[in-house]
Structure 1
Amino acid sequence: MSTMIRRRPTVGLAIVELAAAAALVGGPGRATPAQATPPIGAWQNILAYRTGKCVDVYAQWTGDGALVHQWNCRMYESQHWTFVPTGDGYYYVIARHSGKCLDVQNASTAERATVHQWTCVGWPNQQWRLEPVTHLPYPGYLLVARHSGMCLDLFDASPADGTRIQQMRCSGFNGQWWSLGPPQ
């Protein structure tokens, strides 16, 4: 049985707004050399490097707990994400259609924990850093969850639409490589 944690959206919204304001006025948030800086304020597709498919919120749902999976890129706003700096090298990854954050369910630190969207509240399970994967022919990244140190992972690196996104121990496996691109 899964237990949902209730979160207060007004606190999260204020945190995201403060982080965005800090980025706009040149506040702290510079990445270390081992991290990458995504385009701030731009809507991006997050693509599975192995499949070229988009990270997508299931059925374009806007509610808390909607699962995140991969799907063919279709110009859906549920496939558009923006990166809002936390001020220390991590980012909130926010879905355009809902304004909600990419979130590891229940702040789990377990492998294969579900990744879904949730109201942005500023918790560490909603904060991600980008680490470049340097041996690829075009830019690719690991997205690492702050609370667990685990990577955003495409289940079994499957090419199938609907394949769930989860967190797993960072292994360098190609199911953990992601690229960023303009909405398509």
Structure 2
Amino acid sequence: MTVSTIHPAGRGGRRRRVTALAGAALVATTALAVADAPAASAATPDTNATYVFVNRHSGKAMDLWEWSTADNAPVNQFARNDLAVQQWRFVSVGSGYYQVRSVHSGKVLQVPDANNGSFLVQATSSSSNTRQHFRLADSDSGYVRFINRHSNKALDVWEWSTADGGRIAQYDDLDGWNQQWQLATVGGTTPPPTGAWPTPTGQTAVNGTVAVSGTYDGGMRRFCCIGDGGQEEDQDPMFRLVNGATLQNVIIGAPAGDGVHCEGSCTLRNVWWEDVGEDAATFRGSGSPTFLVDGGGARSASDKVFQHNGAGTLTIQNFQASNFGTFYRSCGNCSTQYRRNVVIRNVTLTRPGNTVAGINTNYGDTARFTGVTIVNDSSRAMVICRKYTGNSSGNEPTQVGTGADGTNCFYSASDLTYR
């Protein structure tokens, strides 16, 4: 028997078949794993659940590109973040078929025609349109395939892409890993963080900035102290992270100087600021850096918690903060300005607090909010999204508005909880 690995076609329509000893070994191993796996259960989705669809090959999620609400907007893959743009619900149309509806846009998945290689889009719901009907076919290990009723073809990560923005198309049902999807349930399962702060396991004296490359794990020790605890500009940071570095499991004591500086893409995981000095963290770098703050908390930031001076996208999730001025600020008067994006999800913010996010609309900044819980704000005084006209001259920026607008500030009432 000839063993081969099958990949999707190029854009010209050819389907590539690669046969090699390495490929044969890989497929043979997979075949053994499949033989030993328990039989998959019938692929019947819960129409009351909200799902994220994660591709088995790429590990990325089905994503409504650029948060579009327009008909015929592309549906691609992107790193999983569980935001509304990656959330989907099944709507039964009978006979085992379903429409797949976006939580963000309210539109449904649709294939344009019956041709191999046609890219997946969203469209206004029409229950009689069979191009919007999908059934789920079981694969092994709990994965499923989406089979379209009109074309009888499977949804396929095109050309076996592993890149953010990789297109999703339809192709003959070959049951390849790029056609297999995990149905991960989301929504209401992870409460926003709140409550007790961690107890330090010890204390480390800091006399100057600590340079971090690679991953630095502080073991939940308190690092102290630097600076005078004031709001003076240009204080030294306690930690400076080079591009690509990770700082985790750290408690930053007071005085904290200017907290943490990221000189490019970085990850701050389970980092706690007991008393913010100038800022908790500042994010720098040109190009398209990506920054992640995952877990942790900050207290007593009389000005800002997170300051975004460079370009790129900052995601803040599973975080708590109390007694602050502004939770996130895109720099309003830096000498070099960029378009900046922030995603704030699953956070608990306790007043006193003035503003969740401040952005510059003239540079095209965006702020997206989901799962934001605000405590002690019965009068709804905290501004969710404050908009400015920024400048590069060093002058104070001018405020031009507040609130959701579908262009720069993205949220709805369901994204906010007050208690």
TM-score band, normalised by shorter chain: 0.7 to 0.9
Distance 2:115 2:94 in 1: 26
1:41, distance to aligned residue in structure 2 (A) = 1.8
Q: Secondary structure at the match of 2:135?
A: strand
Q: Secondary structure at the match of 1:117?
A: strand
Identify the residue that residue 148 of structure 1 maps to in structure 2. Answer: 151
CA-to-aligned-CA distance 1:2-43 (integer Å, 9 cap, x gap) = xxxxxxxxxxxxxxxxxxxxxxxxxxxxxxx99510121211
1:174, distance to aligned residue in structure 2 (A) = 1.2
1:114, distance to aligned residue in structure 2 (A) = 1.4
The unaligned stretches of length 5 or more in structure 2 are 1-39, 188-419
Say whether the 8 Å CA contact 1:41–1:84 is kept in structure 2. no
Which structure features the higher share of strand residues? 2
Distance 2:110 2:148 in 1: 9
Counterpart residue identity of residue 111, structure 1: N
> Taking CA–CA contacts closer than 8 Å with sequence separation of 6 or more, which of the two structures ends up with the larger relative contact order?
1
Say whether the 8 Å CA contact 1:93–1:101 is kept in structure 2. yes
Structure 1 residues 102-121: aligned runs within 5 Å: 102-105=109-112, 108-121=113-126
Identify the residue that residue 181 of structure 1 maps to in structure 2. Answer: 184
CA-to-aligned-CA distance 1:86-137 (integer Å, 9 cap, x gap) = 12100000000011010002xx111001110000112000000000103x3x
Identify the residue that residue 137 of structure 2 maps to in structure 1. Answer: 131
Q: Secondary structure at the match of 1:44?
A: strand
Structure 1 residues 80-95: aligned runs within 5 Å: 80-95=87-102
CA-to-aligned-CA distance 1:137-158 (integer Å, 9 cap, x gap) = xx10110000010000000121
Counterpart residue identity of residue 142, structure 1: R
TM (norm. structure 2) is 0.34
Distance 1:62 1:98 in 2: 5
Is 2:47 aligned against 1:40? yes
**Which structure would you say has the larger Rg?**
2
1:78, distance to aligned residue in structure 2 (A) = 1.1
Distance 1:117 1:124 in 2: 14
Is 2:170 aligned against 1:167? yes
Distance 1:89 1:69 in 2: 25
Q: Secondary structure at the match of 2:162?
A: coil
Is 2:74 aligned against 1:72? no
Distance 1:75 1:113 in 2: 26
Say whether the 8 Å CA contact 2:55–2:62 is kept in structure 1. yes
What's the C-alpha RMSD, in Å, of the aligned pairs? 1.6
Counterpart residue identity of residue 115, structure 2: A
1:75, distance to aligned residue in structure 2 (A) = 2.5
The unaligned stretches of length 5 or more in structure 1 are 1-32
Identify the residue that residue 69 of structure 2 maps to in structure 1. Answer: 62
| Superposed structure 1 runs of 4+ greater than 4 Å apart | none
1:182, distance to aligned residue in structure 2 (A) = 2.2
Q: How many residues align?
A: 147
Distance 1:183 1:73 in 2: 12
1:52, distance to aligned residue in structure 2 (A) = 1.8
Which structure features the higher share of helix residues? 1
Q: Secondary structure at the match of 2:115?
A: coil
Distance 1:118 1:66 in 2: 8
Q: Secondary structure at the match of 1:41?
A: coil
Identify the residue that residue 7 of structure 1 maps to in structure 2. Answer: none
Say whether the 8 Å CA contact 2:52–2:82 is kept in structure 1. no
Identify the residue that residue 392 of structure 2 maps to in structure 1. Answer: none
Distance 2:58 2:41 in 1: 25
Q: Secondary structure at the match of 2:131?
A: helix
1:183, distance to aligned residue in structure 2 (A) = 3.1
Q: Secondary structure at the match of 2:96?
A: coil
CA-to-aligned-CA distance 1:46-90 (integer Å, 9 cap, x gap) = 110112211001101011011000001113211000011112100
Identity of aligned residues (%): 32
Q: Secondary structure at the match of 1:156?
A: helix
Q: Secondary structure at the match of 1:166?
A: strand
